[in-house]
Amino acid sequence: MHLDEILSYCLSLKATTEHFPFDQRTLVFKVMGKMYALIDVETPDSINLKCDPEEAIELRERYASVQPGYHMSKKHWNTVLLNGELSNDEIKKMIVNSYDLIVKSLPKKLQHELSIG
């Protein structure tokens, strides 16, 4: 999956915003102010995505291109190498799973705003 496809896909998810909170390279996608994806726009060879801890371990065991989150909590984040091992559909599924984990962790009021917005 290429950078432009990731940008387009993430921005298609409801209430997603994009930010550069760390530097001018690391693009962060947020839903309702919470991060769910990070990618280096100058060298887009991987993406960091939030993941259920048990599923994170399973994905790391199944795919060489899924590794513990670089500069992130290794328990809750994976770094997914964009090297062709995973199909675009698999990467999109991981992006949606990350997004959904964040949405589920939001206060009920914000979840409600998101569902009616």
pLDDT digits (tens, 9 = 90+) for 17-66: 999 999 999 999 999 999 999 999 999 999 999 999 999 999 999 999 99
Q: Does 117 score more than 80 pLDDT? A: no
What's the average model confidence in pLDDT over 81-87? 97
pTM recorded for the entire structure: 0.95
pLDDT of residue 58: 96
Q: Name 77's bridge partners.
A: 50
The domains found in the chain, sorted by start residue, are: 3-116 (3.90.1150.30)
Rounded to the nearest 5 degrees, what angle is found at the Cα of 15, between the Cα atoms of 65 and 112?
115
pLDDT of residue 106: 94
C-alpha 68/C-alpha 80 separation (Å) is 9
What's the average model confidence in pLDDT over 66-87? 94
